[in-house]
Structures are given as structure tokens and as C-alpha cells.
Structure 1
Amino acid sequence: MVLNIPGGEFLTGSLDVISQSLTIPVLVILLVIVIISIITLGGIIAEYTSRKKVPIGTIRDLIYDINLSESIDGLKNIISKAKIPNSQKKVLIEIASAESLGVNSREALARKLFEFEEEKTMETLKKTDIITRIGPTLGLMGTLIPMGPGLAALGAGDINTLANSLTVAFNTTIVGIGSGALCYFIGKIRSSWYDRYLSDLDALIDSVLDYMDK
């Protein structure tokens, strides 16, 4: 529909060109999102099979063992033999090795190491969070963009063009919403894993610092 104002035909024509020019980029990005979603799904399956599950009892016993350690070397030995992820062992041993630092400096180091681990988990979650948000949005764009030519074709009696436009619209909707839902599910699972990982690490760091401050 052309606006009944001076320059209305130019404005509507420009908007039509802009919206239609977005068709290919939207479709390409949706295909990329699908590929990333499939790779992410494979990644979380591999992560689940290789993930070291640490019961709360293991963390409790390790805190007691740390507190009863007789020396720094004994502390490091207890940590190295603990049934916890290697990334946690690395952080704890680095803190235990900082006995030459003052209390405040040691706490600052521990806080920085913990923040680094937290940043790593957030970086992993960020990928799925982005797809969760933009997947449905791009799916909606891919739905609406072909509807313009499709409705115009319907007015002209061109059923084939209308059918092609509707096919593109439905396919992009399914792909966008499906990718977003899959990545939302993956993000929730990983978030629960990482929250537990960081909670355990925080407790163990406090235990090591408490021992070294004696």
C-alpha cells in the first residue's frame, strides 16, 4: 500500500527493498545457528559423559581433610589425590603454594582465580544464551519478510509464489524457535552444572584459606 502523502511511494518502496534485502542474511544466519546448535548438542553430550560427578560427601570429607592437614606439602598432596575436577585442583594448589604472600594478598589471589573460573563458565553459557534470544527473533523475521511478496502474489492470483513464500515463512519459524528452545535447554543444564562446580570451588577455596591463616 502506498502512503497518500508526498514521497509516500518512495518511502514504502525503500522499506520494501530493505526488508526484502534482509531475506538472504536472515536465512544464512539461521542455517549457521542450526549448525552451532547441533555442534553444541554434541558438545554437551560429550561433556556429560566425561564430566566428573562430585557428591556432596566428597566435598565435605575433603574440607575435613584440608583442615586436619599437618603441613602445606600434606595439604597439596591431599588436594592432588582428591576426587575433584583437575581445574579445581589447579586453583587450590596454586593458592596453597602462595604461603609466602600476606593474608590479604593471598585472598586477593584466591578471589582472582575464582573469578577467572567464573568467567570461563559464563563464556561457555554466553553462546547458548545468544542463540536462545536471537533464534526466535530471526525466525519471526524470516516469517514476516516473505509474507509481503506472498500477499502481493495472492492479490495478483499467483498461487505458486504465495505457496513458496509460505513455505519459507513456516520453515524459518520452525528453525528459529527450535534452535532457540534447544539452546535454552542446553543452557539450563550447563548452568546447573557450573553453579554446582563454582559452589564447590568456593567452599574449598575458603577451606584452604582458613587452613593457611592459622
Structure 2
Amino acid sequence: MARDRVPVLKRCRSLNLDPTYLGIDKKSKKENPRAGRKMSEYGLQMREKQKAKFIYGVLEKQFRGYYAQAVKMAKKEGIPGENLLMILELRLDNVMFRLGYGRTRKESRQIVRHKHVFVNGKPVDIPSYIVKAGDVVEIREKYKSIQRYKDILSVTDGRIVPEWLLANHDALSGTVVARPTRAQIDVPVEERFIVELYSK
């Protein structure tokens, strides 16, 4: 399986991305040597695409598939760029991260893969599983009392859960209230550049 082995803070520097969007509270003391340089239009488009892929931990083939799905959806509702971010937000690993049951999306992905998660009472171990409005996501009963989740909540308890989710930290569960709107998605991505890139 392909993996991104570039150090996280180095990648954040190159993408001009604050690590807090990844759930990391460290800051790099180094500066991006390219900071202040004017980028070409293509460079801006590529950077926004790489930023979105990096934030959500998605590789190119899957990302392109999400974009195709977003364009298809736009024939009925929404616009492609916003639909793309909505689909990425509805991934199960991201929902776990947003609910505060993973310090980072990478950790949330691992939790899902290790079969710690139920969706509507059934085990789901696919991080890219797309949840729907009304779905109930929770940590499996036999894992709720382990120290790992106490440690995670001690770090994430102050994290703001977005309006489209309802968290119950006592029960280690959450409900998808609705699909997120663009205004409720706080990632610093200019999705119009991604649309321009793929529209060429």
C-alpha cells in the first residue's frame, strides 16, 4: 500500500498549512524557503489539491474518484468543489476525528481499521466508508473502557465538534445530524482551484 513518508511538519511547511488542522499542536520552527515567492496559477491549483489530499489522507486515484462523484452530484445539487469537501468530511475516519475519538485523522483511520467502530450497530472497518445523515457512530462496547480512549479524550475534549455532528463523549458515540455545508467545514482549502485543475 502506498504511504506518504514525508515528515508531517515539513509537509505542512511546504503547503503553508497550520498543523492544527491535522490535530497536531506542534509548530515547525523552520521557515518555508519558498515563502513569499509568487506562484503560477498551476502551482496554486496543485498546492490546493495536495493540501486537501494531505489533510484527509487520500491518495490521487481515490481523490480523483471523489471529484468525479462530486461533479456527478452537482448535476442535481451543490457545486463540484463544495461537494468534494462534503464527501471528504463524511468519510468515517474523518467523522471519528471530528467527534474527538482520534487525536489525528491517521489515528482515527487506525481505530477504524482495527474494528473498534460500529455504524448503526454494525462493525465497519473501512476508513473511507461514507456516512449518511442519521447514522450513529460509536466505539464498540468492549473497547470503551480501555485506557486508550481516556487518553484520547483528555487531549480532544476541548475540540469543537462541528454543528453537523452530535457527540456523546460519555458513551463514546456520535450522530450525523446532517450533511456538512461549506460554511461548517473549517479546512483552509480553496476548492475552486481544484475544480479548475481537474477541468483542464
Q: TM-score, normalised by structure 1?
A: 0.28
Higher helix share: 1
Higher relative contact order (CA 8 A, sep 6+): 1
Q: TM-score, normalised by structure 2?
A: 0.29
Higher strand share: 2
